[in-house]
Structure 1
Amino acid sequence: MKKTDYSNISARYDKNKFRHDIKLDCDLKDYINCCKKGKYAVLDLACGTGIYLDNQIKHFKHVNIEWHGLDLSKEMLDKAKAKVDNVLFTNGKAEKLPYDCSYFDFISNNYAFHHFENKSEALDEVGRVIKKDGIFKMHNIAIHDMSKWWIYQLFPSVYYEDLKRFWQKELIFKEL
């Protein structure tokens, strides 16, 4: 199975204009409005260059949030650290999260779940580190519903590679 080496693309990752259209995380906003606390702990799991964190910190600057970002690529984290202040960045794997049990109120994982080597372990770890009333939010694409996508029409082998990396929606729901 092919893997993306983000250490090789970190220098140009942020140059993709489509990566910067990140709006207010309404689910985080709803959680904060629903669960009034003095302080929140938020993790961006597989944070890459910190695009999500950078945008959300601006939206939630008046809320007491301890921001965390974890990524496997040191080079991506270096980009994030240069871009975003007041975030505790950690180089690590989703399958072995270096955090205490029941630590986070909110965990966001944006378009990275398919990169995790052991998805079941990663979900177990999320379950371990999230608080009982916490929220785990995963954004991903459903490639199993996209066989007619133009990329797959031009490069059919990519579709078959992606079938190995992406879990079907039903399996994700079952595991969660």
Structure 2
Amino acid sequence: MNLADAIRTIPDYPKPGILFRDITTLLGNARAFRRTVDELVQPFAGRKIDKVAGIEARGFILGGAVAHQLSAGFVPIRKKGKLPHTTVGVEYALEYGVDTIEMHVDGVAAGETVLLVDDLIATGGTAVAAVQLLRQAGADVVGAAFVIDLPDLGGADRLRAVGVPLQTLVGFPGH
């Protein structure tokens, strides 16, 4: 089974010229979903991972499954104002402006090993901000795992540049 075949491409979404890579078709295919989780977990099996941090929103689905397989806790990383308890946050640059991601102040403890998970790495802005957030809390980010890489946008290289090894399962050219 080729995982790329389980991912739907939607042209001109959210704006003209963009090819949106939609993993809801992969998630709805039991075999593809299982294989995806197994492949995301495999490089980290047998390693001590205390927490899996998932980036809103598809990173919650994948990260929860990965955390379960690794017998780790799960930490949601969300946009500002979405978490109910006291939070810590990091601002990061967008194409036009800034955004903020947050996690609960007690989401990770100093010294815990954390794996970052999301569905896609594009420019890497959100992923790098998530690493900064986790490191500010004292976590050791031991890796990152994504289903899709858009290598033309350079996000994987940005993450490696801040010292985070990563794995991706499928690469698509373009945006």
TM-score with structure 2 setting the length: 0.46
Flag the structure with larger Rg.
1
TM-score with structure 1 setting the length: 0.46
Kindly indicate which of the two structures has a greater share of residues assigned to helix. 1
